[in-house]
Structure 1
Amino acid sequence: MSIPNPNFSHKSVAKSFTNSLMAENQLIDSLTSHISLYHSHSLSPNANRNPHPRSSILKWFSSLTIHQRQAHLTIIESKFTQLLIQMIGKLRTKGHGFFIILPDLPSRDPPYLPNLCYKKSRGLLSRVSESNETERWILECTRLFNSREGEKIDGCSCSTDCLDCVTVSEDFVGNMDRFVDTMDKVSKGEFLRGEETELGADWVEFDWLKAQGYYSIEAFVANRVEVALRLAWLNSNNGKKRGVKLKEKVNAAGVAANVYWRKKGCVDWWRNLDTAMRRKVLTTIFGKAAKSLFELFGEGNFKSSPDKSKDKPSACGRRKKGRTRSMKRQNPLPKSPVDEQSFDKRSKVP
Structure 2
Amino acid sequence: MHKIGLHTKVKSSSRDHDHPCNFLSKHQKQNERKLVPMAHHQLIDSLTSHISLYHSQSPNPNPNPNPNPRSSILKWFSSLSIHQRQAYLTVVDGNFVQILLQMLAKLRSHGHGSFILLPDLPMPNNLPTLCFKKSRGLIARVAESETAGRAVFESARLFESREGEEAANSLPPSARRLDALTLAEGFVGNVDQFVEAMDRISGGGFLRGEEAELGEDWVELHWLKAKGYYGIEAFIANRMEVSMRLAWLNCCGGKKRGVKLKEKMSAAGVGVNVFWRKKGCVDWWANLDAGTRRKIFTTFIMKAAKPLVNLLNF
Query: 2:211–2:221: 8 Å Cα contact kept in structure 1?
Result: no
Count of residue pairs brought into register by the alignment: 297
Residue 125 of structure 1 aligns with which residue?
A: 139
Which moves more between the two structures, 40-49 or 209-218? 40-49
Structure 1 stretches lacking a partner, 5+ long: 304-350
Query: 1:45–1:188: 8 Å Cα contact kept in structure 2?
Result: no
SS at 1:119 equivalent:
strand
Identity fraction in percent: 60
Matched residue type, 1:177: D
1: CA distance between counterparts of 2:204 and 2:113? 23
Which moves more between the two structures, 33-42 or 134-143? 33-42
Query: 1:209 aligned to 2:209?
Result: no
Q: RMSD between aligned alpha carbons? A: 2.3
Determine which structure has more spread, i.e. the larger CA radius of gyration: 1
Matched residue type, 2:197: T
Query: CA distance change for structure 1 residues 24 and 252 in 2, over 3 Å: closer, same or farther?
Result: same
Residue 86 of structure 1 aligns with which residue?
A: 102
Residue 26 of structure 1 aligns with which residue?
A: 42
Query: CA distance change for structure 1 residues 71 and 157 in 2, over 3 Å: closer, same or farther?
Result: farther
SS at 2:227 equivalent:
coil
How far residue 239 of structure 1 moved from its aligned partner, in angstroms, is: 1.2
Query: CA distance change for structure 1 residues 154 and 243 in 2, over 3 Å: closer, same or farther?
Result: closer
Greater RCO (CA < 8 Å, at least 6 residues apart): 2
SS at 1:240 equivalent:
coil
TM-score (norm 2): 0.88
Q: 1:278 aligns with which of 289, 293, 302?
A: 293
Q: 2:79 aligns with which of 63, 71, 79?
A: 63
Residue 160 of structure 2 aligns with which residue?
A: 146
2: CA distance between counterparts of 1:157 and 1:182? 40
Aligned pairs for 1:166-185 (under 5 A) are: 166-185=181-200
2: CA distance between counterparts of 1:294 and 1:21? 65
Offset from partner CA, 1:166-185 (integer Å, 9 cap, x none): 00011111011101111111
Offset from partner CA, 1:31-84 (integer Å, 9 cap, x none): 111121112212346666331111111111111111111000000000001110
TM-score (norm 1): 0.79
1: CA distance between counterparts of 2:280 and 2:127? 32
Matched residue type, 1:290: A
Query: 2:64–2:209: 8 Å Cα contact kept in structure 1?
Result: no
Aligned pairs for 1:1-16 (under 5 A) are: 1-3=11-13, 5=17, 6-7=22-23, 12-16=28-32
2: CA distance between counterparts of 1:289 and 1:157? 16
Query: 1:164 aligned to 2:179?
Result: yes
Query: CA distance change for structure 1 residues 18 and 271 in 2, over 3 Å: closer, same or farther?
Result: same
SS at 2:115 equivalent:
strand
Which moves more between the two structures, 266-275 or 4-13? 4-13
How far residue 134 of structure 1 moved from its aligned partner, in angstroms, is: 1.0
